[in-house]
Amino acid sequence: MTVLERLAELGLSLPDVPTPVANYLPGKRVGDLLYLSGQGPRNEQGGYHLGKVGSDVSVEQAYEHARLAGLALLAAAQSLVPDLDRLEAVKLLGMVNAFPEFGQHPQVINGCSDLFVQVLGERGRHARSAVGMGSLPNNMTVEIEAIFKIHD
């Protein structure tokens, strides 16, 4: 089963890749590595899910937001490498817009990690950091960046 078939089986689809609002690229390929810029969780209206995790937003909601960021990362990857079946997740950096006393960052970023394993299988397993931030752009709940290996 292909990555796109797995996504469809889960009732998921890839969002449009937003146009960068500053002087950067959504991703850059260097040799057999694909470096993706941070993606946030877009809502149905095209804006971001907003708020501080641990006060405004629950861990369960933020998990779903990390899942949405994962879909955005896959969409950005597909814009550079159309065949997602060639990708292997190498490393994630998950940033959580967290209330100061919040400590469940890994449980939030699991939303993206779990998605990658669901749709990429063993190639979805990756190294990862999950950290809290005092703020994120536009007050979004999570931002995640990724590095993928591209297989021939």
Residue 30 lies in a domain: no
Tell me the average pLDDT of the chain.
97
Query: What is d(CA 25, CA 103) in angstroms, rounded to the nearest whole number?
Result: 31
Residue 18 lies in a domain: no
Residue 27 lies in a domain: no
Residue 25 lies in a domain: no
Q: Give the residue among 145, 130, 148 at the shortest CA–CA distance from 62.
A: 130
Please give the residue range of the domain that contains residue 54: 3-12+37-150
Q: What is the pLDDT of residue 19?
A: 87
Written as six digits, the tokens of 21 are 């609002």
Residue 22 lies in a domain: no
Q: What is the pLDDT of residue 81?
A: 98
Give the CATH number of the domain where residue 126 resides: 3.30.1330.40
Helix (H, G, I), strand (E, B) or coil at 4: helix
Number of domains in the chain: 1
Q: What is the pLDDT of residue 93?
A: 98
Q: What is the pLDDT of residue 27?
A: 97
Q: What is the pLDDT of residues 77-131, one digit of tens each?
A: 999 999 999 999 999 999 999 999 999 999 999 999 999 999 999 999 999 999 9
Q: What is the pLDDT of residues 5-58, one digit of tens each?
A: 999 999 999 999 988 889 999 999 999 999 999 999 999 898 999 999 999 999
Residue 140 has pLDDT above 90, yes or no: yes
Helix (H, G, I), strand (E, B) or coil at 146: strand
Residue 100 lies in a domain: yes
Written as six digits, the tokens of 130 are 């999950």
Mean pLDDT throughout 62-74? 98
Residue 26 lies in a domain: no
Residue 72 has pLDDT above 90, yes or no: yes
Residue 75 lies in a domain: yes
Written as six digits, the tokens of 122 are 């063993």
